[in-house]
Amino acid sequence: MNFKEVIYSRRAVNFFDPKKQVPESLLNEIIELAAKAPSGFNLQPWSLIVLRDPEEKLRLQKHAWNQPKISEAPVTLIVLADMDGWKTGNPFLEKNFQEMVKTGAMNEGQRQWFDGARESLYGSSESRKVAFACKNTAFFAMALMLAAKSLGVDTHPMDGFDMDAVRKEFQIPDNYWIPMLIAVGYFDAAKSLVPGKWRKTADEIIVRFDK
Ligand SMILES: Cc1cc2nc3c(=O)[nH]c(=O)nc-3n(C[C@H](O)[C@H](O)[C@H](O)COP(=O)(O)O)c2cc1C
Q: Is 128 helix (H, G, I), strand (E, B) or coil?
A: helix
pLDDT band for position 30 (cuts 50, 70, 90): very high
Q: DSSP for 21-64?
A: ---HHHHHHHHHHHTTS--GGG---EEEEEE-SHHHHHHHHTTT
Question: Per residue in 66-98, pLDDT tens?
Answer: 999 999 999 999 999 999 999 999 999 999 999
Best residue among 159, 166, 187 to mutate for probing ligand 1's pocket (most ligand atoms within 8 Å of CB) is 159
Chain centroid to CA 14: how far? 18
Cα-only R_g, the chain: 19
Please determine, looking at this structure, whether the domain spanning 3-205 carries the CATH number 3.40.109.10: yes
What's the full length of the chain, in residues?
211
Q: Is 11 in the pocket of ligand 1 (CB under 6 A)?
A: yes
| Ligand 1 centroid to residue 170 C-alpha, Å | 23
Q: Return the domain boundaries, the chain.
A: 3-205
Question: Per residue in 164-197, pLDDT tens?
Answer: 999 999 999 999 999 999 999 999 999 999 999 9
pLDDT band for position 100 (cuts 50, 70, 90): very high
| Contact by Cβ (8 Å): 116, 109 | no
Given this model, what pLDDT does residue 2 score?
96
* Residue 53: exposure state from Cβ atoms within 10 A (0-12, 13-18, ≥19): exposed
| Ligand 1 centroid to residue 12 C-alpha, Å | 6
Distance CA 41, CA 181 (A): 25
Q: Is 43 in the pocket of ligand 1 (CB under 6 A)?
A: no
